[in-house]
Amino acid sequence: MKKFFIILIIITQISFFQVINAENNLPCAKSSIVMDVNTGRILYSSNSALKLPMASTTKIMTVLLAIENCDLNDIVTVSRNASIQEGSSVYLREGERMRLSDLLYCVMLRSGNDAAVAVAEHISGSVEDFAELMNNRAKTLGAKNTNFMNPHGLPNDNHYTTSYDLALITREALKNKIFADIVKTKKHTVSELINEKKYLENKNKMLWQYPGGDGVKTGYTGKAGQCLVSSATKDSWQILSVVLNCSDIWKGSTELLNYGFSNYDNIKVVDKSKIKINVNVLKGKEKAIQVIPKDDLYAPIKKIDNDYEKLDHVENLPKDAKAPVKKNSKAGTLEIYADNFLLGHVDLIYNKDVESSDIFYHLKNIVNTFLL
31, 48, 59, 231: the catalytic one is 59
User: Catalytic residue at 231?
Assistant: no
- The residues, ordered by sequence, that sit 6+ positions from 1 with a Cβ below 8 Å of its Cβ are none
Show contacts of 302-305: CB within 8 Å, 24+ apart.
Answer: 302/263, 302/264, 302/338, 303/263, 303/264, 303/265
Listed residue (314, 237, 241, 291) closest to 268, CA to CA? 237
User: Catalytic residue at 31?
Assistant: no
Name the 3-class secondary structure at 208: helix
Helix (H) or strand (E) holding 238: strand 237-246
Q: Which amino acid is at 235?
A: D
User: Catalytic residue at 89?
Assistant: no
45, 56, 79, 356: the catalytic one is 56
- Kindly report the backbone phi and psi dihedral angles of residue 314, in degrees, each rounded to the nearest multiple of 5, phi listed first: -120, 120
**Is the Cβ–Cβ distance between 106 and 190 less than 8 Å?**
yes
79, 111, 163, 241: the catalytic one is 111
Residue 180 to residue 352: CA distance in whole angstroms? 39
**Is the Cβ–Cβ distance between 299 and 41 less than 8 Å?**
yes
* Number of CB atoms found within 10 A of residue 32's CB: 28
Listed residue (110, 98, 107) closest to 60, CA to CA? 107
Torsion angle (degrees, nearest 10) of CA 213, 215, 216, 220: 50
Give yes or no for a cis peptide into 324 (omega within 30° of 0).
yes
Q: Which residues are catalytic, by number?
A: 56, 59, 111
